[in-house]
Amino acid sequence: MKKTLLNIITLLMAMMLCSCNPDNLDSPNGADDSVKKISIMGDSYSTFEGWSNMDMAGNPNDYYVYYPHKGNTDVTSVDKTWWYMLCQKPEFELEISNSYSGSVVSNTHYNGLDVAGTDLSFMHRVGKNSFGVDYNGDPDIILVFGGTNDSWAGVELGKYVYKNWTDADLKCFRPAFSKMLASLQAYYPDAIVYSITNGDDGFPGLSKPYAKSIQNICKHYGVTNIVLEDIEKMDGHPTYAGMQSICEQVYEVLIER
């Protein structure tokens, strides 16, 4: 009897030790739940040839990319981009860089060109692409880094509209940014959405009205807005030093959650 009781106690202790082993705290499929998958929704600042113009399944997206841009910046390899460096941190991994150089949040491009229904509009790059592959994959975190081209193109700000958007509304920046955030939260309910704002001091960043608009809309949707400071640039685009600064400023916010 004593021997049987001793065996039972030994077995229970072994089970308790096993359950407390950190190596057994991962998800059932062996993945480390502490590592978060990040998808980037961006413009030229978040592009790189062979990365931002490929979808999750390796299909080619017809995205124009800015980097590497010989002669303009020293971002000559993907490991010098802000998002790649961020996703090398032990807490994160890259899901997809859904970024298109020259893209706008609204449906209005430079010279008033209507880009509704095209990948040049951030709003269109939510959900599935023409191959049936989700633009943003299955992320834990979505980082939206846009608005720069809207500001540079002088897209009309418009009114703050939070539902029942019309086609006319979506030609303006504020309603478009609002619908984009609402769509992201609806399509990816398990992901946390962040906004990254390219400063608020005019060219080569965002002018104050656009930056303030982003801040107000993010507040409405409960989205954290990261306003960048002191980003080194050439020809209006981040250098390697600028990319490092973006990475660290974003990282400091993400690890707080």
Res 19: pLDDT:
42
The yes-or-no verdict on residue 24 having pLDDT over 90 is: no
- Region for 29 from its dihedrals, namely left if φ exceeds 0, alpha if ψ lies in -120 to 50, beta otherwise: alpha
Q: Residue 226: which H helix or E strand, with range?
A: strand 224-227
Res 69: pLDDT:
82
Measured at the CA of 62, the angle between CA 56 and CA 64, to 5 degrees, comes to 110
- The mean pLDDT of 27-31, rounded to a whole number, is 46
What is the per-residue pLDDT across 77-130, written as a single tens digit (0 to 9) for each? Answer: 999 999 999 999 999 999 999 999 999 999 999 999 999 999 999 999 999 999
The yes-or-no verdict on residue 20 having pLDDT over 80 is: no
The yes-or-no verdict on residue 240 having pLDDT over 70 is: yes
Residue 129's closest CA among 210, 54, 207, 19?
54
Place of tokens 């880009």: 115
Q: What is the mean pLDDT of the chain?
A: 89
The yes-or-no verdict on residue 12 having pLDDT over 90 is: no
The yes-or-no verdict on residue 15 having pLDDT over 50 is: no
Q: SS3 of 18, please?
A: helix
- The mean pLDDT of 130-135, rounded to a whole number, is 96
Res 72: pLDDT:
77
Q: Residue 7: which H helix or E strand, with range?
A: helix 2-20
**Strands of 13-104, DSSP E:** 36-42, 92-99
All residues at 6 or more sequence positions from 150 whose CB lies less than 8 Å from its CB, including other chains: 104, 105, 106, 108, 173, 176, 210
Res 32: pLDDT:
59
> Looking at 24-38, 160-174, 216-230, which range is the least confident one?
24-38
Domains of the chain from N-terminus onward: 35-254 (3.40.50.1110)
pTM as predicted: 0.86
